[in-house]
């Protein structure tokens, strides 16, 4: 860690004893302040350590901060987990950062010029193709349509003799949604392999897109590469059928660092057309070969429903995508992971683990297939690692270079803001001089003593403090 860690120091409160051991009201208040500073993280990291300053001229060492002065001798810092199911307050901070990151790429701010608003920008979804009929909620306008009506008796039977029609207008929360009408007809291998290869398919799409832009505007790929940059941010979302798809914001800039508009003629409509063509052209052919007889030969690609739509900055028709809506949408999926009862939240260790799954039969089958395709020595070796994620091992939010700000920049800005609040007249070193890293060297030593609260009683107290803060509408306040 760097000197920035000093901002966690409570400063004026002074030294104290273990809050839970000696319950003096003062210690308790200080402990409460500490957990408030973690943004009421439910499993804070407990740190032990110190910060010292060394005068570069004289070599003198003076202490700046030590956890010895904290309640219990530890400093609590937020766990920073982005999953809603693991730590809601930290996930909330991540979600807000994701929203900022998407928004600054659309409307500017945080060092990105506001003129970015004029650049052609498109919201698109890249889905998976069909792996067999599943129960689905189809809509026309606001009307929910029957799931899979088939009048002809012949069309209603699959080769396994099962009825593969469904006249139900499924409710939003119907647990049948996404499940195959005939599990034997459903191509589980392909569904799992699509998840496993989704990242590679996206990568190929991003290579293909500039080629399409060049072809559509009659320039060489070299010219396009020198003048136009397609920048993006994307999130992965699981559909009910357990297959991921991507939502992406794609923007055209001039090549270079200054967020300049692309050359004349590179419009949002042109970008939509290039996206459609690039998505349709992506192919990834797998196996079979002698080394991996278990792997089916198959060509993977994206589904047909790409639906690219220009993002407008003024909502004129009510039908258009606005900056705020897109930012909220992406932020929502950045923290939402598949929350299905029984789906394991960590990696499987052995085949036995697949026998104790309590999720739906459909997800269970995907996990079993991922485990099988990932047997040692097979090309899908990584699949075992991600079996609990139905084969998908990619990141939930990724962005291209220079889409906008980074998560690191947003965190740094927050830390600096907090330092400025704590030290309105500027931070000073132990010699009472303005803190200057050309004058002193800051040395930090931290060890993690544990994660989460030490006792149930302590956790209960922390939750009670969080609840009180929520009542006063200060939650979550300032998690790092």
Rule CB under 5 A: which residues touch Zn ion?
Answer: 41, 78-79, 87, 90, 135, 147, 158, 160, 166, 168, 182, 184-185
* One-character DSSP codes across 164-191: --B-----TT-TTTT-BS-TTTS-HHHH
Q: Are 233 and 256 in contact (CB under 8 A)?
A: no
CB-wise, 41 or 321, nearer to Zn ion?
Answer: 41
Residue tagged 């990291």 (tokens): 45
Strand partners, 309: 123
CB-wise, 25 or 161, nearer to Zn ion?
Answer: 161
In total, the chain counts a number of residues equal to 480
Q: How far is the CB of 455 from Zn ion (least distance, A)?
A: 18
Q: Are 457 and 19 in contact (CB under 8 A)?
A: no
Q: How far is the CB of 126 from Zn ion (least distance, A)?
A: 25
Query: What does the angle CA 241 – CA 242 – CA 247 come to, to the nearest 5 degrees?
Result: 100
CB-wise, 185 or 439, nearer to Zn ion?
Answer: 185
Q: Are 93 and 102 in contact (CB under 8 A)?
A: no
Q: Are 50 and 66 in contact (CB under 8 A)?
A: yes
CB-wise, 1 or 54, nearer to Zn ion?
Answer: 1
Q: How far is the CB of 110 from Zn ion (least distance, A)?
A: 24
Q: How far is the CB of 479 from Zn ion (least distance, A)?
A: 7
Q: How far is the CB of 41 from Zn ion (least distance, A)?
A: 3
CB-wise, 168 or 281, nearer to Zn ion?
Answer: 168
CB-wise, 52 or 84, nearer to Zn ion?
Answer: 84
- How many Å is the maximal CA-CA distance in the chain? 92
Q: Residue 139: in which H helix or E strand, if any? A: strand 138-140
Q: Can you count the helices (H) and strands (E) in the chain?
A: 11, 13
Q: How far is the CB of 178 from Zn ion (least distance, A)?
A: 10
CB-wise, 9 or 90, nearer to Zn ion?
Answer: 90
- Distance from chain centroid for Cα 57: 46
Q: How far is the CB of 156 from Zn ion (least distance, A)?
A: 12
């Amino acid at each position: 860690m760097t000197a920035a860690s000093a901002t966690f120091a409570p400063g004026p409160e002074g030294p104290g004893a273990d809050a839970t051991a000696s319950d003096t009201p003062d210690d308790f208040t200080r402990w409460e302040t500490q957990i408030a500073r973690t943004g009421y993280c439910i499993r804070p990291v407990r740190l032990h350590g110190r910060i010292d300053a060394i005068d570069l001229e004289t070599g003198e060492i003076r202490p700046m901060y030590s956890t010895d002065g904290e309640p219990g001798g530890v400093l609590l810092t937020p766990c920073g987990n982005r999953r809603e199911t693991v730590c809601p307050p930290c996930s909330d901070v991540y979600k807000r950062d994701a929203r900022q990151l998407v928004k600054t790429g659309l409307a500017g701010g945080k060092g990105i010029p506001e003129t970015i608003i004029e650049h052609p920008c498109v919201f698109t979804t890249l889905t998976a193709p069909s792996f067999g009929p599943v129960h689905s909620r189809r809509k026309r306008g606001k009307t929910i349509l029957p799931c899979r009506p088939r009048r002809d008796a012949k069309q209603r039977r699959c080769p396994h003799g099962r009825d593969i029609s469904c006249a139900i207008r499924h409710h939003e929360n119907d647990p049948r949604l996404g499940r195959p009408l005939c599990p034997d007809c459903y191509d589980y291998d392909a569904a799992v392999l699509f998840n496993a290869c989704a990242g590679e398919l996206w990568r190929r799409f991003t290579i293909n897109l500039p080629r399409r832009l060049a072809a559509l505007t009659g320039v060489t790929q070299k010219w396009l590469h020198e003048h136009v940059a397609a920048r993006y941010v994307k999130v992965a979302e699981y559909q009910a059928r357990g297959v991921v798809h991507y939502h992406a914001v794609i923007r055209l800039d001039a090549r270079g660092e200054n967020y300049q508009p692309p050359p004349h003629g590179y419009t949002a409509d042109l970008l939509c057309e290039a996206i459609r063509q690039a998505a349709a052209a992506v192919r990834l052919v797998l196996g079979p070969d002698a080394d991996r007889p278990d792997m089916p030969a198959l060509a993977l690609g994206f589904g047909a429903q790409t639906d690219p739509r220009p993002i407008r900055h003024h909502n004129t028709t009510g039908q258009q995508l606005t900056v705020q809506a897109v930012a909220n949408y992406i932020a929502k999926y950045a923290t939402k992971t598949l929350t299905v009862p029984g789906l394991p939240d960590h990696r499987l260790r052995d085949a036995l683990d697949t026998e104790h799954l309590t999720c739906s039969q459909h997800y269970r089958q995907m996990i079993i297939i991922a485990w099988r395709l990932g047997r040692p020595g097979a090309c899908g070796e990584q699949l075992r690692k991600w079996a609990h994620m139905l084969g998908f091992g990619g990141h939930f939010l990724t962005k291209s270079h220079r889409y906008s700000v980074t998560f690191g920049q947003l965190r740094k800005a927050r830390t600096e803001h907090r330092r400025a609040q704590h030290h309105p007249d500027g931070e000073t070193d132990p010699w009472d001089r303005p803190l200057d890293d050309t004058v002193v060297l800051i040395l930090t030593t931290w060890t993690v003593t544990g994660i989460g609260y030490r006792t149930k009683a302590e956790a209960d107290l922390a939750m009670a403090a969080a609840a009180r803060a929520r009542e006063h509408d200060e939650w979550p306040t300032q998690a790092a």
